[in-house]
Structure 1
Amino acid sequence: MAKFLCLVQFCLILTLCSVSSVFSCRWNYRKFRQYHGNCLTLLREMGTGTGGDSENGNIFDADWFIHHTSSQPVKQVWLVIQTLDEISSLLTEADPVPWNKEQLHNFLSMLDYETEELRSCVPIRVRTNKRLSLYFKQLRGLIHNNTGDQINVWEQIRKELLDLLSLLESFPADYFANKPY
């Protein structure tokens, strides 16, 4: 009888854990696009009046990133999480960022919130994507190695981040849409 009670308690704990995870993921499915859209809007607004077009083209390989839409759903979500973490780190480490400080703070807060909520919905952690890390290393290099016009460098970075975040809009939605709840 004691073994049966332990088994029932164990099943009850597993059920409660899965139910709490389900509610968290349902919230993300509905709200991710809203928060992500707000991030994109803030990033677009932060560039207003911060210099002209940069001479450099995009350094981001969108084809490589889009290729990951066919990877396992959990890997897709972790790629989004890593991307949001990298963006947050890039903008937090750099000083000074010539964008509106209040908008930048709101943008970073939303990124952190999205990341936290996405982490709560995936059961495992996936390896860090080295290619994405190298891309952000290049962006950091643009900031630190530039001796010229910082405004144009930051405008290029803003455009790169806009392109990258635009690609993320549909990524995790497929993962959450396929959940059986």
Structure 2
Amino acid sequence: MDGRKFLSLFIICSAQDFCEGCDWIQRGFRLVGGESLSLLSDMGGDITDDKVPVPFPKTLYRSIRNAEMDDKVKSLHEAIDQIIELFHGNLDAVTWNMEKVEHFLTLLHRQSRELEKCVSSASKYERRLDGYFRKLKNVLKQRKYDAHSWELIRKEVKRHLQRLDLISAAMKTPAN
């Protein structure tokens, strides 16, 4: 590639903050996300109907869905990283299939790595996402990481993964 073509590509990519590996969102994110959702459901049987003590951030996800492409990608990345961090808590009380839990986490780590290629900085929604997930972590700590609190977390993570899937489905990659 000659210098002018490279410079043009660099300028286009910089202006869009969305290039190269980011087309993975359309090719791979939803596929891996679907498998993650399936594993989340399968690893522990039926998901509880009990109410989660932390309200789901519907308005935050509405804002992210209507955000610029760059903030959408950054928010996908941040939410996946927050979910990964949640699952690094004490899992001793759960009766889940740990092989499926490990596979689930491996898929989340893959999504995070691929999205990281598209992200240059944090989104404007980072603090709100962080605050929400901190509240979920507090639920686990307050309940001493008991099996029921983990089931509530699993339920909530499923809702997040479903929202992330909807956001990624609505994203369009730039024309090649």
TM-score bracket for this pair, using the shorter chain length: 0.7 to 0.9
Query: For residue 86 of structure 2, what is the aligned residue in structure 1?
Result: 90
Separation (CA, whole Å) in 1 of partners of 2:157 and 2:4? 44
Question: Residues 91 and 56 from structure 1, CA distance in 2 versus in 1: closer, same or farther, beyond 3 angstroms?
Answer: closer
What whole-Å deviation, never above 9, does each CA across 1:37-96 have from its counterpart, x for those lacking one?
Answer: 00111111123068x543545521213212221111100111110000010011023343
1:180 matched to 2:167? The reply is no
SS in 2 for 1:170: helix
Q: Tell me whether 37-46 or 23-32 shows the greater mean CA deviation.
A: 23-32
Superposed, which structure 2 residues align to 1:31-180 within 5 Å?
Answer: 31-48=28-45, 53-56=49-52, 59-96=55-92, 98=94, 99-122=96-119, 124-127=120-123, 129-146=126-143, 150-175=146-171, 177-180=172-175
- Pairwise CA RMSD: 2.8
Structure whose CA Rg is larger = 1
Alpha-carbon displacement from aligned partner over 1:144-166 (angstroms, at most 9, x marks no partner)? 1115x822211111111111110
Could you tell me which runs of 5 or more consecutive residues in structure 1 were left unpaired when the two chains were aligned: 1-7
Contact 1:29-1:173 at 8 Å conserved across structures? yes
State the alpha-carbon separation in 2 of the partners of residues 132 and 26 from structure 1.
Answer: 24
Of all paired residues, the percent bearing the same amino acid is 26
Q: TM-score, normalised by structure 1?
A: 0.78
Structure 1, residues 93-146: CA drift from partner, whole Å, max 9, x if none? 334361221111111111111111112134x21346111111111111111111
Which has more helix, going by share of residues? 1
Secondary structure of 1:92's counterpart equals coil
What is the DSSP-based 3-state SS (H/G/I as helix, E as strand, rest coil) of the residue aligned with 2:87?
helix
